[in-house]
Structure 1
């Protein structure tokens, strides 16, 4: 397995930074990268010395969504293989959502598709000015399914309706109004803003923080496995439609799909 698609660093305070390290591809989520992420999150969850986790990314973009080569390969798979393969992102999000430590997102550049999903599982997500976000799947004839349970849990159905189906790109300020981001800061202030979120936790009892996060999940309602499975099945069915074939063909052929006006 390639070992440089993500990077994990833990400082002397117990602050872990989990970094997406595929900057040349705008941190698009490849199968190998998602495996690394899931493994890294599992190690952080089990480490009693880790008190806070920061999810960050190298380069100009936080995460451009699913890797294009991976998406192209899925077109040739049978339904069960494709279902299994596409479920990787749900596994990553489930692992991040289950972290006992607070998870702080540091977002810059673009966050599309799966990148929105990653922001959705952060307890606090801070965006740099100029950040663009969007659930762009319907442009391809697909749906934001595997990330959907986590996106809706974060935004609520009423706010999700504003962006879930239209593939509309929105800015960081709107992302705050939608509940995806906690606040927006100048790019040069992003690290200081993340540090300001970290600092209060280091004055708290780590066991109490973990227990409070667990209680919050219990009271607010966690994403249920049945919802995740339903979303995975919905995407598997969608892949087999004529619209998905047309949308993906148009995308890779660099032309407008037949429904575009």
Structure 2
């Protein structure tokens, strides 16, 4: 089980995290949730890592909950069920707030929590044959932990439809809804992800973190004076930062900034 989550870091600082239970469609159980959370926390604390790619082994990105774990969950008391839900919630929050740009490399279908992992990433690139689904209502439950991230990605109107119908969503529709940013053929996936990694490596590492934080801080607020003040503060802070000063100087001097090898 120690190999259920694999981490590989390239010389360029690209960390690839692979869900490695392909024979079980990378379904998550309690141990895998803990391993994935710990791996994300490790890459978050490593300053040498510039980009994080999340992918899966085998034909599926992630089938969501492991059926054996789901069976055990039904036998637990309320306190234990709450603890397990909290662990899964921490996993999603850790990925969503990761202080690195993240790419979901969706090589196969993603259901339930698997789709939530995709929605937590900054960029999502999927093969054209992938499917997405929230089938919880078929079991008499709901995709509660995934809901905040899915609603943010596809909007409440679409979420209402797919949460109550449990229909499967093909990759093209997932792209139109906003869950997926780009769809490609199987043999194009690696190149598409590598191209996006190269794009991200051109950008200031701290600036990308600050951009992610800014969006979280303003996305649900009206354009009011306090929001305008916040944006001014952030802009000035970044312009005065070491990275901001280096980036502007490099642009004016027509050279590469220090963060580009």
TM-score, with normalisation over the residues of structure 1?
A: 0.82
Residue 99 of structure 1 corresponds to which residue in structure 2?
98
Q: 1:70 to 1:63 in 2, by over 3 A?
A: same
Range moving further from structure 2, 192-201 or 61-70: 192-201
Equivalenced residue count is 221
Query: Where does 1:1-261 land on structure 2 (aligned, <5 Å)?
Result: 2-221=1-220
Distance 1:47 1:115 in 2: 25
Range moving further from structure 2, 201-210 or 23-32: 201-210
Distance 1:122 1:137 in 2: 22
1:65-114: per-residue Cα shift (whole Å, max 9, x none)? Answer: 10101000011111121121133321111110010111100112221111
Range moving further from structure 2, 193-202 or 24-33: 193-202
Q: 8 Å contact 1:89–1:147 — kept in the other structure?
A: no
SS of alignment partner, residue 164 of structure 1: helix
Shift of 1:161: 2.1
Quote the RMSD (CA, aligned, Å).
1.3
Higher relative contact order (CA 8 A, sep 6+): 1
Shift of 1:157: 1.0
Structure of larger gyration radius: 2
Shift of 1:215: 1.3
Distance 2:211 2:108 in 1: 32
Gaps of 5+ in 2: 222-261
Shift of 1:221: 4.5
Distance 2:164 2:194 in 1: 35
Distance 1:174 1:130 in 2: 11
